[in-house]
Amino acid sequence: MENQRYFTIMGEKTEFRLTGDHKTFWIPGDFDSNEYPYMTSKLSEVDAEKGQGFFEISTRRIIAHNAVQTR
């Protein structure tokens, strides 16, 4: 590994085992914008499509119903 100059990540398998329906802080997963206000909900209530209602953001492309970014 001493001579290794770079590497390529071929897959990501991180998993989390949570103990309940915890409070979350999130914004929709979006290819075009990170300018959403942070939303708060329980894990079971996460709905990234709520981001479609923010008309102040002119370019938005929500990835999926449950695709979010966290803090």
The tens digit of pLDDT for each residue in 22-68 reads 998 988 888 777 778 888 999 999 888 777 676 666 666 677 777 88
Q: Does residue 19 carry a pLDDT above 90?
A: yes
pLDDT at 5: 85
Tokens of 48: 């990234």
In a domain, 32, yes or no: yes
Domain that holds residue 60: 23-70
Give the total number of structural domains in the chain. Answer: 1
In a domain, 29, yes or no: yes
Query: 16 pLDDT band (50/70/90 cuts)?
Result: confident
pLDDT at 35: 77
User: How far apart, in whole angstroms, are the C-alpha atoms of residue 7 and residue 35?
Assistant: 31
Q: In whole angstroms, how large is the CA radius of gyration of the chain?
A: 16
Q: Which phi and psi angles does 50 have, rounded to 5°?
A: -60, -25
In a domain, 37, yes or no: yes
